[in-house]
């Protein structure tokens, strides 16, 4: 009985240790749309991983692309008719071949319903896209895939009016039913909706793209899904931290260089380009990060 009680008490810590061990030292890919391309939540996630586990190394590749979907759908007249929404699957094979990730985080959905009411055809396209993403990632050698449910569509409506967030709620609810070896779903959407219903201020000024507080909430929700508890800190204070500034610099630089290395199609075709000395420069920035975090 004493051993059982001890095991129960230690379970949360064992889970956290196991999750961090599964990521530390392994190539970790973040995929998503413009929210991931903006990347602030990826920087916050990396910041806490590196700060709270200074003895471990983390190797993060942030490769989000604005307007992207996993559903392959696009509304008529998207971007003023200049270009349709890009599909992840135009570039995913190249991403997986070049990055060779062992860990994949993917956050899609907000664009996949193309801002229309819930529809079976669109919903099925989203489901198929998520399943295809998982299958391709596994085939490419990914050991663990974290599906992050979509952030909220941050709008308030009167009773009877259509609110696109109801579509995201349905998408997130379906994702939570995914039960597959090597896949974990992190329910960002429900946590974000609950927090938004409590607070008076919006997370997203334009209803879609979270501000800095929203990005911090995304990061802490993802970390919680990994079993990592973070201190309740003000976003402004974090951003003043020299460690965060360096982590954010690394994320921004590596993301931009690797996006060009992989190549993508959005409003124009960006053909794959050589990496050059990108990783040498990344190593230099990481060395500065290590000095900051390991002397604390």
Q: How many CB atoms lie within 10 A of CB 156?
A: 11
In angstroms, the Cα distances linking 65 to 78, 89, 167 are 15, 12, 22
Task: Report, as an integer, the average pLDDT of 232-238.
Answer: 95
Residues 6+ apart with CB under 8 A from 157: 163
pLDDT reported for residue 9? 35
Question: How confident is the model over 115-173, as pLDDT tens digits?
Answer: 999 999 999 999 999 999 999 999 999 999 999 999 999 998 888 899 999 999 999 99
pLDDT reported for residue 22? 81
Pick 25-294's CATH classification: 3.40.1160.10, 3.40.50.1110, 3.40.50.300, 3.40.50.2300: 3.40.50.1110
Secondary structure element (H or E) that encloses residue 270, with its range:
strand 269-270
CA distance 277 to 34: 26
pLDDT reported for residue 4? 39
Task: Report, as an integer, the average pLDDT of 18-26.
Answer: 86
Q: How large is the greatest C-alpha to C-alpha distance in the chain, in angstroms?
A: 67
Please state at what angle helix 165-175 crosses helix 188-198, rounded to 10 degrees.
140
Residue 115 and residue 88 in contact, taking contact as beta carbons nearer than 8 Å: no
Say yes or no to pLDDT of 8 above 80. Answer: no
Residue 247 and residue 47 in contact, taking contact as beta carbons nearer than 8 Å: yes
Question: How confident is the model over 240-250, as pLDDT tens digits?
Answer: 999 999 999 99
pLDDT reported for residue 200? 84
Give the 3-state DSSP-derived string for 176-234, with helices as H, strands as E and coil as C. Answer: CCCCCCCEEEECHHHHHHHHHHHCCCCCECCCCCECHHHHHHHHHHHHHHCCCCCCCCC
- Give the chain's length: 296
Say yes or no to pLDDT of 17 above 70. Answer: no
């Amino acid at each position: 009985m004493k051993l059982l009680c001890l095991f129960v008490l230690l379970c949360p810590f064992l889970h956290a240790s196991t999750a961090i061990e599964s990521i530390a030292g392994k190539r970790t890919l973040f995929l998503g749309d413009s929210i991931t391309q903006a990347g602030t939540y990826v920087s916050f996630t990396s910041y806490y991983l590196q700060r709270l586990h200074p003895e471990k190394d983390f190797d993060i590749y942030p490769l989000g692309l604005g307007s992207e979907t996993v559903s392959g759908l696009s509304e008529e007249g998207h971007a003023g008719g200049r270009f349709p929404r890009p599909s992840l699957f135009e570039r995913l094979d190249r991403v997986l071949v070049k990055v060779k990730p062992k860990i994949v985080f993917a956050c899609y959905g907000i664009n996949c319903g193309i801002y229309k009411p819930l529809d079976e055809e669109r919903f099925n396209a989203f489901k198929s896209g998520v399943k295809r993403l998982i299958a391709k990632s596994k085939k490419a050698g990914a050991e663990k895939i974290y599906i992050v449910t979509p952030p909220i569509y941050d709008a308030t409506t009167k009773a009877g009016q259509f609110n696109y967030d109801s579509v995201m709620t349905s998408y997130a609810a379906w994702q939570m039913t995914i039960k597959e070896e090597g896949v974990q779903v992190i329910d960002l959407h429900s946590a974000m909706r609950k927090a938004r219903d409590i607070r008076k201020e919006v997370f997203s000024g334009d209803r879609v793209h979270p501000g800095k507080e929203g990005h911090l909430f995304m990061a802490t929700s993802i970390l919680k899904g990994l079993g990592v508890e973070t201190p309740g800190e003000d976003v402004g204070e974090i951003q003043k931290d020299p460690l965060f500034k360096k982590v954010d610099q690394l994320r921004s630089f590596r993301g931009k260089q690797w996006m060009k290395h992989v190549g993508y199609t959005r409003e124009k075709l960006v053909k794959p380009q050589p990496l050059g000395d990108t990783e040498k420069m990344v190593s230099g920035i990481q060395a500065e990060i290590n000095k900051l975090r390991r002397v604390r």
